[in-house]
Amino acid sequence: MTALLELRDKLKYFYSKNEVFILPVIKFLLAFVTLLVINGQMGYMLKVNNVAVVLIAALMCSFLPTFCIILFAALFTLLHMYALALEIAVVGVVVYLLMFLLFFRFAPKDSLVVVLTPLLCFLKVPYIMPVVMGLLGTPASAVSVCCGIVVYYLLLAVTANAATINTMNAGDATAKLRLVVDALMDNKAMLVMVVAFALTVVVVYLIRRMSVDYSWTIAMVAGAILNLVVLLVGDLIYETNISLVGAILGNLLALAVAKVIEFFRFCVDYSRAEKVQFEDDEYYYYVKAVPKMTVAAPTKTVKRINTQRRPSGRYDAPAGGRSVTIGRRQGEPQDDYEELF
């Protein structure tokens, strides 16, 4: 455990020392992967379905605020929708505006969540987000997670009906609108996922805020179980065809990621917990203090070695020179010598 704590402290120190370089690299990689996934899933506009364009956009995102990753991702999806049909792009604009209003109202700091949630959905591991945001965020983070789920299912609705939309004429604008809107509104799987993830975020947040021992561990386990139960109940009621094996493995992966985050964010030693009581003029205070797990910084000891030692006694100089007596002054250490003439 000591080795892990030392490694954690070294990683934190390395990040704090090189944050100005590490953060742009992380934003670049996130934007690059996100835009590549969008182009791979849609790809209707050939001008933006280009690695060079994605590279330029990702480089811009690396130096701009984090929220710009959402803007570029929304712009790419809208361009692909426009290349498919103008009516589809109108639906996308309306959905994005509604979500942005909710997002700015409740969770304006969770911009990365709106990007990571649909990205993890495409990677088939979306169950990480509600558990992690329950540990790191607030109940308002459920809005960001749910917005990401809606974006994912909107893109699925567009790609699933792209072949049908291409066969329609220009005069079938109403039919195109209804096709995508009905596919989005009647999607029971999206409804079940939104409810499950929102409940998981709130429950994990409430439990990890409790003063009980191992609250973070209890919160993440309870959240993963709740998430799995709600998904399975929704599947039984609405026949959403959710993969049971995928849900179980996804929640196990969510627990593993949550434990790593707990180690870096909330690593405490409950065996040394203390309860203290004190008062002031107006209140009595009952406080539970749990110390963090830390490793003492290694101390450097410097050992002074005198390499110019000479034994005391009389030294006979060569011919033509004079003899000197080498000895110690009274009170000096045993190892220190000086020439006495």
Residue 12: inside a domain, yes or no?
Answer: no
Residue 70: inside a domain, yes or no?
Answer: yes
* Tokens of residue 77, six digits: 């999806």
Looking at the structure, do residues 36 and 145 belong to the same domain, yes or no? yes
Q: What is the pLDDT of residue 116?
A: 92
Which of 6-10, 106-110, 298-302 has the weakest average pLDDT?
Answer: 298-302
Task: Calculate what percentage of the chain has a pLDDT beyond 70.
Answer: 87
Q: What is the pLDDT of residue 298?
A: 61
Query: Residue 49 pLDDT more than 70?
Result: yes
* Tokens of residue 228, six digits: 């799995």
pLDDT tens, position by position, 81-95: 999 888 889 999 999
Q: Which of 301, 303, 328, 325 is nearest to 314 (CA)?
A: 325
Residue 156: inside a domain, yes or no?
Answer: yes
The answer to whether the beta carbons of residues 58 and 26 sit under 8 Å apart is no
Looking at the structure, do residues 88 and 221 belong to the same domain, yes or no? yes
Question: Could you say which of 243, 268, 293 is where a domain stops?
Answer: 268
* Tokens of residue 294, six digits: 């830390």
Looking at the structure, do residues 165 and 309 belong to the same domain, yes or no? no
Looking at the structure, do residues 306 and 170 belong to the same domain, yes or no? no
Residue 307 confidence class, pLDDT cut points 50, 70, 90:
low
Instruction: Count up the domains in the chain and report the number.
Output: 2
Average pLDDT of the segment spanning 229-248: 88
**Residue 170 belongs to domain spanning:** 18-268
Looking at the structure, do residues 206 and 327 belong to the same domain, yes or no? no
Query: Residue 339 pLDDT more than 50?
Result: no
What are the beta bridge partners of residue 338?
327
DSSP character at residue 292: B
Looking at the structure, do residues 263 and 320 belong to the same domain, yes or no? no
Query: Residue 312 pLDDT more than 90?
Result: no
Looking at the structure, do residues 258 and 167 belong to the same domain, yes or no? yes
Burial 9-35 (b: 16+ CB within 10 A, else e): eeeeeeeeeeeeeeeeeebbebbbebb
What are the beta bridge partners of residue 292?
268
Looking at the structure, do residues 259 and 336 belong to the same domain, yes or no? no
Query: Could you report how far apart the first and last alpha carbons of the chain are, in Å?
Result: 61
The answer to whether the beta carbons of residues 56 and 75 sit under 8 Å apart is no
Pairing of strands 274-279, 284-289: antiparallel
Query: Residue 98 pLDDT more than 60?
Result: yes
Pairing of strands 313-315, 324-327: antiparallel
Residue 11: inside a domain, yes or no?
Answer: no
Q: Which of 292, 301, 300, 302 is nearest to 9 (CA)?
A: 292
Looking at the structure, do residues 128 and 185 belong to the same domain, yes or no? yes
Query: Residue 9 pLDDT more than 50?
Result: yes
Residue 294: inside a domain, yes or no?
Answer: no
Question: Could you say which of 268, 290, 315 is where a domain stops?
Answer: 268
The answer to whether the Cα torsion of 194, 197, 203, 209 is positive or negative is negative
pLDDT tens, position by position, 112-161: 888 899 999 998 899 999 999 999 988 989 999 999 999 999 999 999 88
Averaged confidence pLDDT in the chain = 84
SS3 for 191? helix
Residue 268 confidence class, pLDDT cut points 50, 70, 90:
confident
Average pLDDT of the segment spanning 319-340: 48
Which of 3-12, 31-40, 247-256 has the weakest average pLDDT?
Answer: 3-12
The answer to whether the beta carbons of residues 106 and 122 sit under 8 Å apart is no
Burial 121-130 (b: 16+ CB within 10 A, else e): bbeebbbbbb
Residue 7: inside a domain, yes or no?
Answer: no
The answer to whether the beta carbons of residues 88 and 81 sit under 8 Å apart is yes
Question: Could you say which of 246, 268, 290 is where a domain stops?
Answer: 268
Residue 145: inside a domain, yes or no?
Answer: yes
Residue 336 confidence class, pLDDT cut points 50, 70, 90:
very low
Looking at the structure, do residues 262 and 332 belong to the same domain, yes or no? no
Looking at the structure, do residues 183 and 326 belong to the same domain, yes or no? no
Looking at the structure, do residues 262 and 306 belong to the same domain, yes or no? no
Average pLDDT of the segment spanning 3-21: 84
DSSP per residue, 245-280? HHHHHHHHHHHHHHHHHHHHH--B-GGG-EEEEEE-
pLDDT tens, position by position, 183-226: 888 889 999 999 999 999 999 999 999 888 889 999 999 999 99
The answer to whether the beta carbons of residues 312 and 324 sit under 8 Å apart is no
Residue 273: inside a domain, yes or no?
Answer: no
